[in-house]
Structure formats: C-alpha cells, structure tokens
Amino acid sequence: MSTGKEAEALDAYSQAITTAAERAGPAVAKVETGRGGRQVWPWRGDQHPRGVGSGVIYSSDGYILTNAHVVADASRVTITLPDGRALPAGVIGAESAYDLAVLRVAANRLPVAELSAAPLRVGQLVIAIGNPYGLDFTVTTGVVSALDRSLPIGPNQKLDQLIQTDTSINPGNSGGPLVDVHGRIVGITTAILPFAQGLGFAISASTAYEVIGRITERHRQSIAKGLLGISGLDLEIDASIVRQNNLQQSNGVLLLEVAPGGAADRASLRGGDILLDIEERKIETVAALREAVQALKHRRPWRVTFLRDGRRRTVSLIPTT
C-alpha cells in the first residue's frame, strides 16, 4: 500500500486506480495453455501470441474464473500467480455460450477478488488487470461506455449483456477482471473489435455469478457419483522428488478435489496429493486412473500409494459401491 507521503502526492483519480489495482491485483493470474487454447475469438483476428490469457481467483481454495475460449481444446493449463508460483490447473467446467470457464488449482489461502453485485453506470471508472501479450500484471483504465451490448462470435451465436468499455484491452487480457474503484470484479474481459480503438467488451459480474453456480454444481454432482469421489489432472513429478522416493515413474495424478464423505475422503486423501498406483497398477495419467478403477471396481479394499509433501505414503481405500 502507499505510504502517507505517497498518498498525498497522488490526486484522487490516481489514488482510486492505485487502490483498486492493489486490492484486486494479487488475485489476478496468468493462464497459459498447451496444445489449443485461444486468446481471442477468430472474428477478432489472429495476429497475436497463442496460449496466454488471464484469470481471476474468486475463492481462496483455488477456484479461478477465465474465458472459455482461453482454455478451449487445451491439453494442459498452467496458472502463474502474482507471487511467481506456477501451478497446474484443471478445467472444472465451461459454458462457451457465455465464454466463461472455471479452473481449479490445488492450493489454499489464495488472495481473492470479490465479485460485485452493485449496478454499473455509464461513465463509471473501471480498471482492467491482466497479461496483454504476456506482459504480466498490466493495469489499464477507462470508463463504462455502454451496457447490455450484444456481440456476434460466430454463425448463429452471440454474447449478450456485455459491458462496453474504452479501457485498453489486448490479446492476453482475455479472462482477466474489469474492476471498479474498490477493486471489486464488475466484469470479465472477453472481446475487442479488430482495427477499432476504445471498443472492448466484458462479461458482467451478474452473468459470471450464474455461470459459476451452474458449473460448480454440475462438477460437484459429477465427482460425488464417482467410485473415488475425486477430480484430478496429469502431473509430471519433480525430478528431485522422484529421486528422493526412488520412484519408478515420473508422472502421477494430482488430486484437485476430494468430495466430502467419498471413498478418497474416508481414506484421508486430500487435494494436493499425487496418486502413484492402485493395487500396484501405475497411475501416471487420468486415463490410467479410469482404467484401473474399472478393472478393480469389484475388489475391496484397494491399496493406494501417493505422494504428500514430497513423501511416499500408502493407505487402504474402500471404493464407493
């Protein structure tokens, strides 16, 4: 935060922007994708680097909101936090009709930005924070130019109830927050018009609220129905941990979520653990995990080996019937 002398040197406008950036900035992340993942919709042109966008942490236990088009068709998603940590992320769900996606990382006590339910007014000051062209933590300012805009994104498809803003938005800002002077999220930046100046668009916070609720509920129902009650993603294990534990594999499955009361929860597994094998069947990918679960579903119990805090451990697990 600014010192007293610094605050005196700033005019009210600068102070508002600085305060908003300091409040929301720690919750803004870089989203990088492998194989697929588009920063901008095709109708906006493609002269830009691929595979880099932005996201905003809205829940301290690792939930991140971004654009659906940022992670579309991505086989790998990496989140880089403002503190420099790079974490693998899983796509919890997406709704392309609203261009929003929810990601999850295995981390807790993360800084968050608040979604605002307050109504917007044309002319209101807003601030965009993101990673345009990979330039981390870039802050730009402008105003709400118009509300309730519609924008075509393809044949017979359009985005509705958009916020129009003259805030500078570039490829890489996609999925990042548009915030008010209090640092609260009022929108998720999504689109620019090619060859135009001062014509940017963001998905409203009210729309984001609704989409987050639907995606989260579908995901919770899905993992609750599984034999293990988990969600996870493929992970390459750090070479030093492989050597330290004398492992015969360099990949495992990182647990992102463990459903309360599910089989994994009852066996004391938790988010952040890395599955290595089940009944001596190597679990190096989510696909291998699914195959093992199907092959062993009639056996009880299972001996499960995993990593926690860099150390190999084993538990007995009874899958849900």
Final residue in a domain of this structure, among 177, 202, 225? 225
Report the distance separating Cα 30 and Cα 79, nearest Å: 6
Domain shared by 175 and 49, yes or no: yes
Q: Which residue did the predictor score with more confidence, 45 or 129?
A: 129
| Joined tokens for residue 6 | 């610094």
Residue type, 45: G
Domain shared by 213 and 279, yes or no: no
At 62 the pLDDT is 94
Confidence of residue 44 (pLDDT cuts 50, 70, 90): very low
How many domains, the chain?
Answer: 2
Domain shared by 133 and 27, yes or no: yes
Residue 147 phi/psi, 5-degree rounding, is -125, 160
- Whether 180 sits among the annotated catalytic residues: the reply is no
Domain shared by 89 and 162, yes or no: yes
What is each CA distance from 2 to 130, 255, 301, in whole angstroms?
A: 21, 39, 58
Domain shared by 210 and 271, yes or no: no
Report the distance separating Cα 5 and Cα 261, nearest Å: 54
Confidence of residue 40 (pLDDT cuts 50, 70, 90): very low
pLDDT in tens, 56-73: 999 999 999 999 999 998
pLDDT in tens, 207-225: 999 999 999 999 998 888 8
Q: What is the pTM of this model?
A: 0.87
Domain shared by 90 and 218, yes or no: yes
End-to-end CA distance of the chain: 53
Domain shared by 241 and 132, yes or no: no
Q: Vertex 44, ends 206 and 42: CA angle to 5°?
A: 95
Final residue in a domain of this structure, among 225, 241, 272? 225
Confidence of residue 46 (pLDDT cuts 50, 70, 90): very low
Residue type, 264: A
- Whether 136 sits among the annotated catalytic residues: the reply is no
Cβ 77 vs Cβ 66: under 8 Å: no
pLDDT of 157 over the 90 cut? no
Cβ 120 vs Cβ 134: under 8 Å: no
At 198 the pLDDT is 83
What value does the mean pLDDT take over residues 83-90? 93
Pairing between β-strand 125-130 and β-strand 76-80 as defined by DSSP bridges = unpaired
What value does the mean pLDDT take over residues 289-314? 93
Identify the residue whose tokens are 């609704």. 210
At 7 the pLDDT is 59
At 134 the pLDDT is 77
Final residue in a domain of this structure, among 204, 225, 246? 225
Report the distance separating Cα 58 and Cα 208, nearest Å: 11
At 42 the pLDDT is 32
E-strand stretches of the chain: 28-34, 52-59, 63-66, 76-80, 86-95, 100-104, 125-130, 138-154, 157-165, 177-179, 185-192, 200-204, 230-236, 251-258, 274-278, 281-282, 302-308, 311-317
Average pLDDT score over the chain: 89
Q: Which residue did the predictor score with more confidence, 192 or 273?
A: 273
pLDDT in tens, 126-153: 999 998 887 888 999 999 999 999 988 7
CATH number at residue 313: 2.30.42.10
- Residue 9: CB atoms within 10 Å: 11
What value does the mean pLDDT take over residues 251-280? 94
At 136 the pLDDT is 83
Cβ 72 vs Cβ 37: under 8 Å: yes
What value does the mean pLDDT take over residues 6-18? 77
Residue 286 phi/psi, 5-degree rounding, is -60, -35
Domain shared by 137 and 275, yes or no: no
Report the distance separating Cα 295 and Cα 236, nearest Å: 24
At 47 the pLDDT is 35
Domain shared by 146 and 257, yes or no: no
Domain shared by 104 and 242, yes or no: no
Q: Which of 54, 99, 204, 219 is catalytic?
A: 99
- Whether 219 sits among the annotated catalytic residues: the reply is no
CATH number at residue 48: 2.40.10.120
Domain shared by 77 and 87, yes or no: yes
Q: Which of 54, 69, 116, 145 is catalytic?
A: 69
Q: Which of 54, 116, 145, 174 is catalytic?
A: 174
Domain limits at 63?
Answer: 1-225
Confidence of residue 36 (pLDDT cuts 50, 70, 90): very low
- The proportion of the chain whose per-residue pLDDT surpasses 70, expressed as a percent, equals 92
Q: Which residue did the predictor score with more confidence, 35 or 175?
A: 175
Domain shared by 300 and 272, yes or no: yes
